[in-house]
Amino acid sequence: MSDTTSASPGAASRRTWLFGAAAVLAASAGAGAAWWKQRPASGHEALGTDFWGRSFERPEGGELTMASLRGKPVLLNFWATWCAPCVEEMPMLDRFFREHAANGVQVVGLAIDQPSSVRKFLQRTAVTYPIGLAGLDGTDLIRQLGNTAGGLPFTLAVTAEGAVAERKMGKLEQTDLDAWRRDFFRG
């Protein structure tokens, strides 16, 4: 009778676990590398052609095309006439636009509201930055852009490279605009 030594059941179990863990680690590294290669150089999520291909009717007539803003830093603000924090932040956004437009920084408001309500509101509360009428479709858009709750106001800071640098759900503060100007807009 020969004396053969076989691995204990505990050693085989550990070896199987180690091989499984190594396989999971390798798969995760491969997926991470693929994700990393798709990120823009800034490290932020890039907006796709589906976003830049959108256009919105303007309250005063004409069309606001997102493609016309491509290559520029954009502060994109979703708002509604019935949203008190939205209305409160509009003068600050307008001031920010007037102060930084010469440096290429754009501010765009997309109204998630009835066109007639927006037109009436803007007759009383004029702003100099462009407004687009996103209507109820705007709710789907803000969800696609990371606001899963669909609440307002919702603002994105988009770099000139087309990457979402920041998202803010809720009323903007001057400190938000100052930080974004310094960190992303350089204007």
pLDDT in tens, 86-99: 999 999 999 999 99
Query: Quick check: 18 pLDDT over 90?
Result: no
pLDDT in tens, 70-119: 999 999 999 999 999 999 999 999 999 999 999 999 999 999 999 999 99
Instruction: Give the pLDDT score at 22.
Output: 44
Residues 6+ apart with CB under 8 A from 85: 152, 153, 170, 171
Of 10-19, 32-41, 58-67, the one with minimum mean pLDDT is: 32-41
Q: What is the 3-state secondary structure (H, E, C) of 20-87?
A: HHHHHHHHHHHHHHHHHHHCCCCCCEECCHHHHCCEEECCCCCEEEHHHHCCCCEEEEEECCCCHHHH
Spans of all domains in the chain: 7-38, 45-185
Query: Quick check: 58 pLDDT over 80?
Result: yes
Superfamily of domain 45-185 in CATH is: Glutaredoxin (3.40.30.10)
Could you say which DSSP state residue 169 is in? Answer: E
